[in-house]
Structure 1
Amino acid sequence: MSAGARQGGTSTTRDDQAADPRRWKALSVCLVAGFMTLLDVSIVNVALPSIRTGLEAPQSDLQWVVSGYALTFGLVLVPAGRFGDMYGRRNAFAFGVALFTLSSAAAGIAQNSTWLVVARLVQGIAGGLINPQVSGLIQQLFRGAERGKAFGLLGATIGISTAIGPMLGGVIIRLGGEQDGWRYVFDVNVPIGVLAIVLAYRYIPKPAEKRPRKSMDPVGVLLLGIGVVLILLPLVESQEWHGTVKWLLPAAGVAVLGVFVAWERRYARRGEPVVDLALFRRRSYGLGALIAALYFAGFTAIFFILTLYLQEGLHYSPLAAGLASTPFAAGSAAASVFGGRIVTRLGRPLVAVGLVLVGVGLIAVEIAVRLVPGQHVAWAIAVPLLVAGVGSGLVISPNQTLTLSEVPVAHAGSAGGVLQTGQRIGTAVGIAVVGSAFFTQVASSHGDYATAFRHALYVTIGFVVVTLAVAFADILADRRSPGERPVH
């Protein structure tokens, strides 16, 4: 089977005739909103000192400002995708943006830390509503090579938003001042959100038809939600919850997900489950989702430990620490767009090449920190981070294109929600594991942040190596069974 076939084939005449002329404008609206929600995952990290000063917030509330957003974001992704599949992605998208805009405004005027935590929880719900609609709309509006380009732009958006968040946060806080600069981190979302809602109703097409469905599968939604919370909660609170008892919760979460799988199989015999488990029998989807989860475990942890090293260890300002990740963001943005254009021809080998570049770049970062551990380290790691960023751009968007290539459009939202839930769990696992390695080394070495960063980097590289092994397994399996065809 050719790579082009795996990712969705070439456009047919009928597809070209049916293509909505507003599709690229609709995509632009989706990407702006997606950028806004993903940016809020990382931008808040550099705002925490300002929030602590401005609201006199305790450390426990500061932790929930970060982790609460990640928790509720991951919780609603799958049911939100299912909702969009059922009732139309435009309405679900617009509602999510409206909720995100209102909760951002509420966060910006928060008078105490409890208020801010609640606003962040609602923000996370809104972000989880928006993102499955973006991937679902790409599946709906684009075909063939155009779909690869669209996912390339989405991959660039993911890479840039994650990498550039600390820098933008540093700029905004510098302009707004130490006392209230953090408020502008949230306030900037309000005009963008209002504009996105207006443009969504102008450019995103109405659903062509409503598919009759019996229910949202409430039992399945509940079981999935409980399982995801049990897995994510001790991971996002790993630095606040001490002791080993907390690790019973992920085990319980896996057990609940086992019950969820059994329920979904039973429910599929009489209705339409919230997750179509048959998707995982498609190698492109099952292995692609695993690649995404494993890669995000290493990918997002890079910026977590880099920010800690630069700010806590070398006393960089938030702005300077944020600027240090710019080469990664630039490389990721350029390569994501390029990767989206060529993934139709190269398929999964392109993802493998990207993972090799990420691994080489991170190894070079480790060497640079070993040779230049002082204040000039940001310059020493600039080129290695650029190489890693280029590799990352060849992983995220091409893998997403390939993973969703055989998914029927009617299930695009829920399939995208499952994929992104795996990414969120991977992110939480990566930050917990890599962060634990970092903080353990800091404690044992009496504040040697350079050594701690390098040791945590070894764990990150380990995630990349495992991800590469899965990609190779998919490539080998593809060569042995070339007859699969995609579902449009």
Structure 2
Amino acid sequence: MADNRNRDPATGGTTDRRRWQALAIGLVAAFMTLLDVSIVNVAIPSIESALHASPSALQWVLSGYALTFGLVLVPSGRIGDARGRRTVFVVGLALFTLASAAAGLAQSPSWLIIARLIQGAAAGVVNPQVVGLIQQLFQGPERSRPFGILGAVIGISTAVGPLLGGLLIALEGTREGWRWVFYVNVPVGIVAIAFAWRVLPGRPERRPGRPSLDPVGVLLLALGVVLVLLPLVQERQWATPLKWLLIPAGIAVLAGFAAWERRHARHAEPIFDLALFRLRSYTLGGVIALLYFAGFTAIFFIYTLYVQNGLRYSALLAGISITPFALGSAVAAAIGGRIVNRFGRPLVAAGLALVALGLGAVVVTLHFVPGRGAPLALAAPLLVAGIGSGLVITPNQTLTLSEVPVPQAGSAAGMLQTGQRIGAAAGIAGVGAAFFSTLAATGNGWSRAFRDALLIAIGFIVIALVAAIADILVGRHNRHHHLPG
């Protein structure tokens, strides 16, 4: 009997059961890699004590992951598009698993930093393949359900990271418990690799000619992303204001990347097709994602500091206190994925409005309950914000990628996620600067510092809401303009 296991799903060679199995493996990998963005936050005090790490080293443990994550997203997405996603996915997941084991075994800050840099790069290899697989395995409106599940995974992994990290440290002890924050990836990764090779679709049908991987474009994009991200992730460690000159330098390099891609596209496939930016859904969706992640990710950064360092909560209690957001986000993301095709971008706008409303309620609540009882009082506002978040991430991703051709799905997803990583770094830098500035000015005013910083995060989300409303208005104008008569 012929083995249809690895036939391209675009030709009908993948059964419905097989594609859902492939999606499940992809979601497990996405959860692992995105969890490691936030799970390490609660382990920082333990790492500092165990490895005698300096503040600069600790910053690299946190930000190095995000830096290399963002660096490889587009190139790895392009390789998956051109050469087959299964091999790229498995290689990335294997590297991530090995790097996690190395991080858990770290005996010095330098060892841990190198492991985290490799871990982040491996995560950047894996994630575009997951979105590319959804585009490849599911067609048209049926993509809304898998994207809804992926959105729930994104929301849960980001929000539940502190809870899981705190639980592991509580079980294994503050001295060595931080190692299990990394070790937990190893058995899951091994099992996922074994199943991935069996159920993920293999190499796509060959198109005429050999796809170009555009090494010049890869180098220009990588350099531009590094120049933009470095001053953001090192905002507190590099005191000199000259660091901000790297951002305009990075933008100039990215402009050179765009010029090269236009030229390269005349005779070969570029690493990223700039024509995708002509799609309003992709361009405005990318802007919304960048702005939202600037506010969304920064919230967890300052909230963890506020609860652990300011209110002296344990790592476990700090994680538990953010659970309402995680639950609300998970449930709403699953629902949002199912209804996004019915409501479109207005659903994203409604989600953004709910997030802003919930976070605004957090600011008001902290004014009246500033002490150790604050996390309990914040449960309801965080639940509202979490519900809103679930209605933003999944529907926005579905709409943003809805018009992207399948052969470009990986690179398009990579560019979208690169914007998210840049937004997250910018948000943490800006919101963190406001947090630490207020803290320094007030001496020990943790609640006020958190409130002031939260206002900056809300600002990012409100700007994202304006972009969503602009998309809605332009869409309505275009539909009205093209009506007959």
Shorter-chain TM range is: over 0.9
Which residue of the partner structure matches residue 187 of structure 1? 183
Which residue of the partner structure matches residue 28 of structure 1? 24
Q: How many Å apart are 1:225 and its aligned residue?
A: 0.3
SS in 1 for 2:40: helix
User: In structure 2, what residue type is equivalent to 1:292?
Assistant: A
Say how many residue pairs are matched: 472
Residue of 331, 336, 340 corresponding to 1:334: 331
- Match status 1:242 vs 2:239: yes
Q: How many Å apart are 1:316 and its aligned residue?
A: 1.0
Q: How many Å apart are 1:482 and its aligned residue?
A: 3.0
Q: How many Å apart are 1:266 and its aligned residue?
A: 0.7
Query: Distance in 1 between the 2:218 and 2:15 partners?
Result: 33
Query: Distance in 1 between the 2:57 and 2:246 partners?
Result: 21
Residue of 289, 294, 299 corresponding to 2:296: 299
In structure 2, stretches of 5+ residues that fail to align are 1-9
User: In structure 2, what residue type is equivalent to 1:130?
Assistant: V
Query: Distance in 1 between the 2:428 and 2:392 partners?
Result: 19
Residue of 444, 455, 458 corresponding to 1:461: 458
Q: How many Å apart are 1:214 and its aligned residue?
A: 4.3
Describe the shift of the 1:61–1:385 C-alpha distance in structure 2 as closer, same or farther (beyond 3 A): same
Contact 2:82–2:211, Cα closer than 8 Å, also in 1: no
User: In structure 2, what residue type is equivalent to 1:124?
Assistant: G
- Match status 1:420 vs 2:417: yes
Query: Distance in 2 between the 1:440 and 1:374 partners?
Result: 20
In structure 1, stretches of 5+ residues that fail to align are 1-13
SS in 2 for 1:213: coil
Which residue of the partner structure matches residue 203 of structure 2? 207
- Match status 1:406 vs 2:398: no
Residue of 305, 309, 313 corresponding to 2:310: 313
Describe the shift of the 1:61–1:478 C-alpha distance in structure 2 as closer, same or farther (beyond 3 A): same
Query: Distance in 2 between the 1:365 and 1:59 partners?
Result: 29
Query: Distance in 2 between the 1:245 and 1:484 partners?
Result: 49
Which residue of the partner structure matches residue 3 of structure 1? none
User: In structure 1, what residue type is equivalent to 2:255?
Assistant: G
Work out the percentage of aligned pairs sharing the same amino acid: 63
Query: Distance in 1 between the 2:385 and 2:59 partners?
Result: 29
Which residue of the partner structure matches residue 477 of structure 2? 480
Which residue of the partner structure matches residue 160 of structure 1? 156
Describe the shift of the 1:125–1:17 C-alpha distance in structure 2 as closer, same or farther (beyond 3 A): closer
User: In structure 2, what residue type is equivalent to 1:216?
Assistant: L
Describe the shift of the 1:88–1:17 C-alpha distance in structure 2 as closer, same or farther (beyond 3 A): closer
Residue of 360, 363, 368 corresponding to 2:365: 368
Contact 2:85–2:201, Cα closer than 8 Å, also in 1: no
Q: Kindly report which structure 2 residues correspond to 1:237-276, keeping only aligned pairs within 5 A, or say none.
A: 237-276=234-273
Q: How many Å apart are 1:310 and its aligned residue?
A: 1.0
Query: Distance in 1 between the 2:317 and 2:237 partners?
Result: 27
Query: Distance in 2 between the 1:454 and 1:313 partners?
Result: 13
Q: How many Å apart are 1:330 and its aligned residue?
A: 0.2
Q: How many Å apart are 1:270 and its aligned residue?
A: 1.1
- TM-score computed with the length of structure 2 as normaliser: 0.95
Which residue of the partner structure matches residue 10 of structure 1? none
Q: How many Å apart are 1:346 and its aligned residue?
A: 0.6
Q: Kindly report which structure 2 residues correspond to 1:383-398, keeping only aligned pairs within 5 A, or say none.
A: 383-398=380-395
Describe the shift of the 1:178–1:484 C-alpha distance in structure 2 as closer, same or farther (beyond 3 A): farther
- Match status 1:378 vs 2:355: no
Query: Distance in 2 between the 1:243 and 1:201 partners?
Result: 48
Q: Kindly report which structure 2 residues correspond to 1:7-18, keeping only aligned pairs within 5 A, or say none.
A: none
Query: Distance in 2 between the 1:313 and 1:47 partners?
Result: 16
Describe the shift of the 1:17–1:199 C-alpha distance in structure 2 as closer, same or farther (beyond 3 A): closer
User: In structure 2, what residue type is equivalent to 1:64?
Assistant: W
Q: How many Å apart are 1:146 and its aligned residue?
A: 2.2
Describe the shift of the 1:483–1:134 C-alpha distance in structure 2 as closer, same or farther (beyond 3 A): farther
User: In structure 1, what residue type is equivalent to 2:174?
Assistant: E
Describe the shift of the 1:185–1:404 C-alpha distance in structure 2 as closer, same or farther (beyond 3 A): same
Query: Distance in 2 between the 1:367 and 1:16 partners?
Result: 55
Query: Distance in 1 between the 2:435 and 2:397 partners?
Result: 30
SS in 1 for 2:81: helix
CA displacement, residues 254-294 of structure 1 (integer Å, 9 cap, x when unaligned)? 01101111111111111111110000000000000000000
Which residue of the partner structure matches residue 72 of structure 1? 68
CA displacement, residues 118-149 of structure 1 (integer Å, 9 cap, x when unaligned)? 11111011000000000000000012332001
Which residue of the partner structure matches residue 110 of structure 1? 106
Contact 1:77–1:128, Cα closer than 8 Å, also in 2: yes
Contact 1:92–1:129, Cα closer than 8 Å, also in 2: yes
Query: Distance in 1 between the 2:466 and 2:59 partners?
Result: 34
Q: CA RMSD in A?
A: 1.6
